[in-house]
Amino acid sequence: MKSFTYERATSPAQAAAIVARTPGAKFLGGGTNLLDLMKLEIETPTHLVDVQDLKLDRIEKTREGGLRIGALVTNTALSADERVRRDYGVLARAIQAGASGQLRNKATTAGNLLQRTRCPYFYDPNMPCNKRKPGSGCSAIGGYSRQLAVVGSSDKCIATYPGDMAQAMRVLDAAVETVKADGTTRAIPIADFHRLPGDRPEIDNVLERGELITGIALPKPLGGQHFYQKVRDRASYAFALVSVAAVIQKDGSGRVSFGGVAHKPWRVAAADAALPQGAQAVAQRAFAEARPTEDNRFKIPLATRALASVIAQAKAPRA
C-alpha cells in the first residue's frame, strides 16, 4: 500500500473542500472497498479524509412522506430499520442479499453506491484495463467475460456495476444528495448517478471532484409487493450473475431494475410498461440493445427467468 496522510473531517462542506483542493485526496467511509483496492495499489490516494464523525448516520422522515438515509448509515442498520423493512422491502432485501455480515456492519450507504467494479481485469494490475489505466485497453473483451456486462457496454469497457443496494434504489427512484466544495448542495436522481462506460470507463458516476454524498432520499412508499431475486454462483456471499429488483402492484404493473448486467442499475421505461405482459415482454425491451459475449449470453435468459419467478411469486396467493 502507498503511504498516505489522514485526517478526520468535522463538517460535510469542510470534507468536500479538503478533497477538492488536495491532489490525490479521497474520502474514507467504511473503507471496505477502498482498503481492498489500496492494498492492490489500484487506488493510490495520498491523503484520506475520514468522514465518520460527520453525524450522517441517521434515517429520518422527509416532509414529502419519504425517508432520508444518512450517507454513513451502515448496510446492517439500513436493512434492519423498521420503516425500511415495512415500506421499502426491496431495499432491505437487496442489502441482505449482498456481501457478508461483517462487511454489512462496516460498509456505508454512500460507499455501497460508490463501490467499484469486480471485473477480474480491473483487479489484476498486470493486465490492461481502461477503467484502471485509461487508454491501456480492455482485457475483458475477448477475455474471461462470464460475469460482465451484456448491455450498455462500449468498445472500451464491459465492466458491471456490482452492487445490490443500488438496484433497489433505482426501482424506488431515490435521489443522491451531495455537497460540493463551495458548500452548494444538489440532489442527483439515481437514474443519472451512475454512468455508462462510453469512451471514459474510468469515470463511474457524475460526482465532481470533492463532491461528497451526504444522504439518499427515498420518495414516499410505493406500496405493492417488493422483491429482490439474486442469482449467483453460491447461495450466499457472492456477486450477482444477474439480479432483479422489482415492485409489483396488484394490477400487475410495476417497476423492475436488473443487476449484474450493465455498468449501472439497468431499468428501462418501456420494459417497466411491459410488466403486465410478463417476463419475456419485459426482457425483450430491457435487453433490446444487448451486446453479450459468447461467455455471458446466458445472462439474458437467466434474467428473464429470474423475473418470471418474481412475477409468479407476486401472483401467488399470500400465505
Residues binding other proteins (CB under 8 A)? 1, 3-6, 28, 31-32, 35-36, 39, 48, 50, 52, 76, 79-80, 82, 85-86, 89, 92-93, 96-97, 99-103, 105-106, 235-237
Which cell is 59 given? Answer: 434515517
Give the Cα separation of 210 and 119 in Å (integer). 26
Q: Where are the alpha helices (DSSP H) in 194-298?
A: 269-273, 279-286
Report in angstroms how near the CB of residue 235 gets to other proteins at its nearest: 8
293 φ, ψ (degrees, to nearest 5): -90, 170
Q: Which is nearer to other proteins, 40 or 127 (CB)?
A: 40
In the complex, minimum distance from the CB of residue 96 to other proteins, in angstroms, rounded to a whole number: 4
Cβ closest to other proteins, residue 76 vs residue 178: 76
Task: Identify which of residues 84 and 188 has a Cβ nearer to other proteins in the complex.
Answer: 84
Q: Which residues contact 282 (CB under 8 A, 6 or more apart)?
A: 256, 271, 272, 274, 275, 304, 307
Q: Which of 116, 82, 119, 75 is nearest to 216 (CA)?
A: 75
Q: How far is the CB of 164 from other proteins (least distance, A)?
A: 10
What span, in angstroms and rounded, lies between the C-alpha atoms of 134 and 92?
Answer: 36
In the complex, what is the shortest distance from the CB of residue 32 to other proteins, in angstroms, rounded to a whole number?
5
- At 319, is the secondary structure helix, strand, or coil? coil
Q: Which 3 state secondary structure label does DSSP give 86?
A: helix
CA atoms of 159 and 149, how far apart (whole Å)? 6
Would you say 246 and 224 are in contact if contact means Cβ atoms under 8 Å apart?
A: no
We find the least distance from the C-beta atom of residue 286 to other proteins, in angstroms, to be 24
Would you say 3 or 126 has its CB closer to other proteins? Answer: 3
Q: How far is the CB of 4 from other proteins (least distance, A)?
A: 6
- Inter-helix orientation angle 299-315/279-286, to 10°: 140
DSSP single-letter state for residue 195:
P
Q: Which is nearer to other proteins, 95 or 274 (CB)?
A: 95
21 or 86: CB nearest other proteins:
86
Q: Do 263 and 116 form a contact (C-beta atoms < 8 A)? A: no
Shortest distance in whole angstroms from residue 243 CB to other proteins: 12
Q: Helices marked H in 156-274 — which ranges?
A: 165-171, 190-193, 269-273
Nearer to other proteins, 237 or 250 (CB): 237
